[in-house]
Chain A
Amino acid sequence: MKFGQVFKEALRNEGFPPEWISSAISYSQLKKCINRLTAELAQVGLDPVTLEKLLRHVEDYNKSAEASTADEEFRPFEYILSDGERGEGGKKKVFRPKLLFYVEEATGALHSAKLDKETREKLQMLAVETGMSDLRVYEEEESDGKGGAADGKESNGHANGNGARSHSPSLCAIEVPLTSDTEFFTKLTTQLSSLEALQLKEEKRMHTEIEDLGRQIARFTDPDRKANKKLLAVWRQIFQLYLEEAVFFGTTERDHSAHGAEKATTRFNEFCVKIKETGLVGKIKKREQMEALETFMHINKEILQGLRFGEINHTAMSKILKKFDKRTALSIKPHLPPTLTYPQFSQHLAKAVCAEVNTQILSHVPQIDDYSCPMCMDIKWRPVKLGCGHTFCIRCLIVMQTRKQNRCPLCREKCVEKANSDNLDLELADFLKKWFPEEVRQKQKYNELMAGVDAYGEVYKEKCAVM
C-alpha cells in the first residue's frame, strides 16, 4: 500500500480527535504541490535527470579541481530554502525558497554546467522572460566537455542575486522563478506550527487533568485517614506494577531510552493485564476510586495516542521531503533550516506528561524501594543516619559495628563505629511508620529477634518459634 493511503487510514481509524486530524501533515496536498513543481521545472527543462546530471558533473569537477579551488565549492545552481530574513517584528520567518543559477559575469557562461541543448534554450527563454537582457548561449569546446548554457546578465537587479554570496566575485546569480515550491514550504511550515500549537494546547490540558487526578489520589491514600488504610496498599501495588512495567521509558541497563508508540502500547497493555490478574482492580470498591483509576488509564492512553500521532506525522514529513528530493533532485534534505525540522511532538509530549504523572500522581504514594536499606534491602527500620549523611537500618549497622567495619558502605567514610542513638533519624522513622505500617511491623519483629540471637545465641530463634 502506498504511504499516502496508509497515513490516511491511520489518521481515520485510530481514533484521534478531529482537531488532531485537521492539524496533521496534509501528505496528499503536499504531494500535489510536488507534482506541480515538477511540472514547472520540466517547463524550463530542469527535470530531475538534468538537475542531477548537473550536480554530478559539478561534484566531479570539484574533485578534479580540489587542489586549486581549496575550500571554495562550485555549484552551477543552488537551492536556497531560507534567506535568513525575518518578517516584520521577527515573528515568523518569511519563507521564500530560491533556485539560483550562477553565471560568470564576464563571460556569461553558466558555471561549469553541462546541460543539453534543450534545457539551455529553455533557460535562455526564461532569462528573456524574466526580463534579462544581453543573453548569450554558446558552447565552450576546448575544456573537459565543459559545455555551457549561458545566461549573460549584467544587472544585479534581483535583490537576491548578489550579496550574501561568498562565491568568487565574478559570479552573479539568476533565479528561476518557481511558485509551487513556495507553496509547498509555506504549507509545510504552517502545518508544523499548527502541530506545535496543538502540542502546547494538549500539554496544558493534560497538565490540569493530571494535577486533578494527583489531588484525588493524594486524598485516597492519605495515611492519616482511617478509611484509607487498606486501599493505600492497593494503590501502592498498582503504581509499583506501573513503575516496573516502565511503559514509556526504560530504566534498566539494557533498556534505558524512550520507547516508541508500539513498545509503549505493549508495555501498557501488559500493565493492564497484570493489575487485573493480581485482582488489584477488584479490590477497589468505591466508585470514586474506580473512576480515578479509569482516569489514570485514560491519561496513559492519551499519552500513547500522542506518541503515535507524532510518529505517523514525523514519518509523513520525512517521506514527503524525500519525495520532494526524488522528484526534483534539488537535494533539500541536508539543508533544511531549523524552521523546518520536525517538532519533537511525540517525544516531548510523552516526556513532559510522564514526568507529570510521576511527580503529581505516583509521588503521593511512596514506594518501598525508595526506603530500603542498601545492605539488607528491607525497609530501613529503624533508620540511622551516619555522620556522612547516608542512612541504613539499625540492624545492619549493629552487625557492622560488631564486626568492626567502620566504613560507610556507600561512601567509605569512617563513621560507622561512631554512630549511636543520637543518629536515629526520627523524622524518617515517623514517615516510615505512617506510610509502611505493615512493613515496619515485620521488620521490627525481625530486628527484635536478631537482637535476641545476638544476646543469647542461635537457640533464641527456636525458642521464639515455639512462643
Chain B
Amino acid sequence: MAALPKRIVKETERLSKEPVPGISAVPHDDNLRYFDVTIDGPSQSPYEGGLFRLELFLPDDYPMTPPKVRFLTKIYHPNIDRLGRICLDVLKSNWSPALQIRTILLSIQALLGAPNPDDPLANDVAQAWKEDQSKAIETAKQWTAQHAARPTA
C-alpha cells in the first residue's frame, strides 16, 4: 500500500491529541484509513445518553472525495437508514476538501440533535416523524436505550 499522505497522518495525530468532546475516532492498526468511531448522543435529543458506533473510511482520493461514514449502531433517525447510511449534504454534494474527519463527525453529531424529516433517507421513520413527532421521539429514545447503551465500566 502506498504511504499514508501527510494530511491523514496529521488528522489522526490531532484527533488523538485534541479529541473533540463526545467524539472518538481511532484508526485500525492494519489499515490506517479505516477508523472506529463513537459519537455521544447530543444532550437534549432523543439520543442523549447513547453511545453510537460508526465506521469511517478514507478513500484513496481523500480529501478530494469525502470519507465514507456509516452507523454501526442501530438508530431511529429520519436521515439514517437501516443499513446505517447517512443522508448529509457535506458527505455528498457539499463535501469540500478543506473539511476534515473531525468536522464531518461534528456534523453527524449535530444531525442527531436536529433530525430533518423533510429530507429523509429512512422513509418510514421520516413518515412517522412527521405524523406524530412526540411518538417518534419516544421510539428514538427506546432504540437508544436498547441499542446504544454504554458498556458498563
Contact = CB atoms under 8 A, between A and B. Distances in A.
Q: How many interface residues does chain A have, given as a range?
A: 10 to 19
Nearest to A369: B10
User: What DSSP secondary structure best describes chain B's contact surface?
Assistant: loop
Given A374-B98, A376-B7, A254 B64 contact: no
A285 to B, nearest CB: 31
A375 B21 contact: no
B64 A405 contact: yes
Interface string B1-35: 00001110011000000111100000000000000
A409 interface: yes
Given A377-B7, A377-B10, A407-B96, A252 B18 contact: yes
Nearest to B10: A377
Contact of A377 (B6, B64, B96): B6
A396 interface: yes
Contacts of A52: none
A407 B11 CA distance: 23
A409 B98 contact: yes
B96 A412 contact: yes
Nearest to A407: B96
A254 B6 contact: no
Given A376-B5, A378-B6, A253 B18 contact: yes
Interface in A218-259: 252-254
Contacts of A407: 96
A451 interface: no
A185 B5 CA distance: 65
B151 interface: no
A254 B20 CA distance: 7
B6 to A, nearest CB: 5
B18 A396 contact: no
A375 B63 contact: yes
Given A253-B21, A377-B10, A378-B6, 8 more contacts: A254-B18, A254-B19, A254-B21, A374-B97, A374-B98, A377-B6, A377-B7, A409-B96
Interface of B: 5-7, 10-11, 18-21, 63-64, 96-99
- Cβ-closest 9 pairs across A and B: A409-B98, A252-B18, A374-B98, A377-B7, A409-B96, A409-B97, A375-B97, A377-B10, A410-B98
10 contacts: A253-B18, A253-B21, A254-B20, A374-B97, A375-B7, A396-B97, A400-B97, A405-B64, A410-B96, A412-B96
